[in-house]
């Protein structure tokens, strides 16, 4: 399955994994999101004891690196699980995880997510921490999704986020519920996104002014965003958000999702394309919502 292509940048989901290979010229960048190391510790408080899954996630990522042979790895946030503190398990698992991964791939960048407070103290010194507002690879803007993108990302054709953990949920005729992780590729209204982003960054303009022209004149950026891709979470033990259970009504669906880009009204979820991890296209969200 080819999810996007533009200006020499090719996006290839690594079937059947929640990983994306970005090819730009001779550069090969592997992207994953939402690893949530140490999440098992939070279950102990509920009386649920689950063995650490860190080694399984580590072996999976090592296998993907072996298959794709990337030049670098970018993690789109939520490396650890707790938000306001660092659990004992995270002090142990995060450093070990990165020490082993950097033995397979020397260049690793991390875009912090909303669960990554103080994550820098857990990372080896040579792991690069990018701004929360994101980074650019070729014609693609990468960020976790809980913050507004850097204005520079509006010059990319495709934005890629994590954060949502998208899944779809169906019931079969007997009543059994089936849940699957999915990729989401949604059309994006660049004018609405540019307008909302400029307002966030306190750029003042009149209602009748063209936000695209302001972006170009003030920041020398030609707005080119066409689509938003939401990555499935790399940690598949966590479950996710069943996107086809939300109302398709625009004023409801954007309220239900988390993150400023999704709430800006610029993303057309009704026409979002939904793909399983094996690459199967299963339809647009407006069709899937009636199948629950």
Model pTM score = 0.91
Chain centroid to Cα 54, Å, comes to: 20
Both tokens of 70, joined, read 């990337």
Give the model's pLDDT for residue 169.
87
Closest to 183 in 3D by CA, of 157, 159, 165, 171: 165
Determine the pLDDT at residue 262: 92
Least confident residue range of 71-80, 167-176, 219-228: 167-176
The predicted pLDDT at position 175 comes to: 75
* pLDDT over threshold 70, residue 263: yes
pLDDT given at position 256: 62
Residue-wise pLDDT for 119-166, tens only, equals: 888 898 899 999 999 999 999 999 999 999 999 999 999 999 999 999
- 216-237 tens-digit pLDDT: 999 999 999 999 999 999 998 8
Work out whether strand 166-171 and strand 20-24 pair parallel, antiparallel, or are unpaired: unpaired
**For the segment 5-38, what is each residue's pLDDT rounded down to a tens digit?**
556 799 999 999 999 999 999 999 999 999 998 8
Read off the pLDDT of each residue in 239-265 and give the average, rounded to a whole number: 73
Residue whose structure tokens are 């949530």:
36
3-class SS letters over the chain: CCCEEECCEEEEECCCCCCEEEEECCEEEEEECCCCECCHHHHHCCCCCCCCCHHHHHHHHHHHHHHHCCCEEEECCCCECCCCCCCHHHHHHHHHHHHHHCCCCCEEEECCCCCCCCHHHHCCCCCEECCCCCEEECCEEECCCCCCCCHHHHHCCEEEECCCCEEEEEECCCCCEEEEEEEEEEEECHHHHHHHHHHHCCCCCCCCCCHHHHHHHHHCCCCCCCEEEECCCCCHHHCCEEHHHCCCCHHHHHHHCCCHHHHCCCECHHHCEEEECCCCEEEEHHHHHHHC
Question: What pLDDT does residue 2 have?
Answer: 45
pLDDT digits (tens, 9 = 90+) for 191-210: 999 999 999 999 998 888 99
Query: Nearest Cα to 134, choosing from 143, 122, 123?
Result: 143
pLDDT band for position 245 (cuts 50, 70, 90) = confident
| Between residues 51 and 148, the one the model is more confident about | 148
Supply the mean pLDDT for the chain: 88
- For the chain, the structural domain boundaries read 4-291
Distance in Å from the first CA to the final CA of the chain: 25
């Amino acid at each position: 399955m080819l999810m996007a292509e533009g200006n020499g940048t090719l996006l290839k989901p690594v079937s059947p994994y929640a990983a994306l290979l970005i090819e730009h010229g001779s550069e090969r960048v592997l992207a994953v999101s939402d690893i949530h190391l140490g999440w098992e510790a939070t279950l102990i408080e509920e009386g649920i004891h689950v063995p650490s899954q860190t080694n399984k996630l580590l072996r999976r990522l090592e296998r993907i690196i072996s298959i794709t042979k990337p030049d670098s790895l970018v993690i789109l946030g939520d490396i650890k699980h707790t938000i306001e503190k660092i659990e004992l398990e995270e002090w142990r698992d995060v450093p070990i995880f990165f020490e082993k991964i950097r033995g397979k791939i020397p260049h690793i960048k991390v875009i912090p997510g909303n669960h990554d407070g103080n994550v820098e103290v857990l990372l080896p010194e040579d792991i690069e921490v990018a701004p929360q507002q994101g980074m650019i690879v070729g014609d693609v803007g990468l960020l976790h999704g809980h913050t507004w993108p850097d204005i520079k990302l509006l010059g990319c054709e495709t934005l890629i986020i994590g954060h949502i953990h998208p899944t779809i949920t169906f019931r079969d005729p007997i009543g059994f519920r089936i849940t699957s992780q999915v990729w989401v590729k949604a059309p994006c209204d660049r004018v609405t996104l540019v307008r909302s982003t400029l307002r966030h960054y306190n750029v003042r303009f009149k209602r009748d002014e063209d936000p695209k022209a302001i972006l170009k004149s003030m920041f020398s950026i030609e707005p080119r965003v066409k689509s938003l891709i939401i990555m499935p979470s790399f940690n598949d033990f966590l479950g996710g958000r069943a996107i086809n259970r939300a109302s398709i009504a625009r004023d409801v669906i954007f309220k239900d999702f988390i993150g400023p880009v999704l709430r800006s009204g610029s993303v057309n979820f009704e026409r979002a394309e939904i793909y399983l991890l094996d690459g199967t296209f299963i339809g647009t969200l407006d069709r899937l919502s009636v199948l629950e």
